[in-house]
């Protein structure tokens, strides 16, 4: 199996590039942000709990997102591989993911980190906020999400660096240029 983690700060283009990767490599896309927004849209209890946390730009508790991912992994029959987008965001999540995959006799192949300048992140997210109305794409929440990323999420990269699986990509440029860089790393 080919199991890829797409990593990077909010606005770095993980969702966009995940779409390109699944198209080319036929992988299953697992985005915890999308799964949480589906819970919110469905007005479930979990969704209601998550919404207030997400609107502040904080992290939803590990056990919630780990449970969601586990359910999705176990639901797949004979997958070619997974692309994880927005997960893991803490070292505890990364450790759980390793355990889940080893129970399936597989593991993370590669983690790709998209590197984008802070001002560009803010510009992209403000633009998305205007176009798509995502309630966490306002300046105050964006700044908190970036802070949470720097404090709580970047240690995940060190975790995979320790396993020799981390790759860093320049995430500035056009969508096509960045996808070419990603393909090269996967090859
Ligand atoms: P972005 O990467 O642009 O912040 P996401 O859709 O990945 O967008 O995440 C939106 C929000 O959902 C996060 O700010 C966080 O509150 C919550 N979230 C998503 N994935 C996780 C996760 N793995 N752990 C904890 N919270 C998460």
- Per residue in 142-158, pLDDT (tens digit) is 999 999 999 999 999 99
By most ligand atoms within 8 Å of CB, the mutation choice from 17, 33, 121 for ligand 1 is 33
Query: Hey, what are 49's tokens?
Result: 């709990």
Residue 145 designated active-site:
yes
Residue whose Cα lies nearest atom 23 of ligand 1: it is 87
User: What pLDDT score does 116 carry?
Assistant: 98
User: What pLDDT score does 78 carry?
Assistant: 87
Q: What is the rounded (10 degree) CA torsion for 124, 125, 127, 130?
A: 170
**Exposed, middle or buried: residue 167 (CB in 10 Å: 0-12, 13-18, 19+)?**
middle
Give me ligand 1 centre to Cα 35, in Å.
10
User: Which regions in the chain score pLDDT beneath 50?
Assistant: none
Give me ligand 1 centre to Cα 140, in Å.
16
Residue whose Cα lies nearest atom 19 of ligand 1: it is 33
């Amino acid at each position: 199996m080919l199991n890829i983690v797409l990593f990077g700060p909010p606005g770095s283009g993980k969702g966009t590039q995940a779409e390109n990767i699944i198209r080319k490599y036929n992988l299953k896309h697992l985005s915890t942000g999308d799964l949480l927004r589906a819970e919110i849209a469905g007005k479930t209890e979990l969704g209601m709990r998550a919404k207030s946390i997400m609107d502040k730009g904080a992290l939803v508790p590990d056990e919630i997102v780990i449970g969601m991912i586990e359910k999705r992994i176990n639901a797949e029959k004979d997958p070619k591989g997974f692309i994880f987008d927005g997960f893991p965001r803490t070292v505890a999540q990364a450790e759980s993911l390793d355990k889940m995959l080893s129970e399936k006799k597989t593991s993370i192949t590669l983690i790709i980190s998209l590197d984008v300048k802070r001002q560009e992140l803010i510009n992209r997210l403000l633009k998305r906020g205007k176009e798509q109305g995502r309630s966490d794409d306002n300046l105050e929440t964006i700044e908190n999400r970036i802070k949470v990323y720097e404090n709580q999420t970047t240690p995940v990269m060190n975790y995979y660096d320790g396993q020799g699986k981390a790759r860093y990509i320049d995430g500035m440029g056009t969508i096509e240029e960045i996808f070419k860089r990603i393909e090269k790393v996967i090859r």
